[in-house]
Amino acid sequence: MGEDMVGLTGRVTGTVGPGLVGEVIVRIRGGAEHFLAYPALGGERIETGRVVTVVEYQPPRTVYVTAAYDS
């Protein structure tokens, strides 16, 4: 996994934001997996249901995301 996570899109299933441990579901390896998620931009708050882009991956199950503005 690792580097191939960066650039993938996912959907927020638990609000991502400052002081929050959010959750996103990402389609990977022929399925969908849940990851703990933090905002890549410090003050960004991303609500449940929004589409996000993975900008950093930290094994085993943590990603940093930004809102995908085409959602």
Q: How many CB atoms are closer than 10 A to CB 64?
A: 18
Please give the average per-residue pLDDT across 53-71, as a whole number: 90
Span 3-44, pLDDT tens digits: 689 999 999 999 999 999 999 999 998 899 999 999 999 899
pLDDT of 71: 43
Which CATH number fits the domain 2-67, given the four candidates 3.40.50.720, 2.40.50.140, 2.60.40.10, 3.30.1360.120? 2.40.50.140
Please give the average per-residue pLDDT across 33-59, as a whole number: 95
Please give the average per-residue pLDDT across 51-61, as a whole number: 96
DSSP 4-29: GGTT-EEEEEE-B-TT--EEEEEEET
- Interatomic CA distance for residues 65 and 71, integer angstroms: 14
Give the closest residue to 22 by CA, choosing from 66, 60, 59, 69: 66
Q: How many CB atoms are closer than 10 A to CB 60?
A: 8
- Judge whether residue 50 has pLDDT over 80: yes
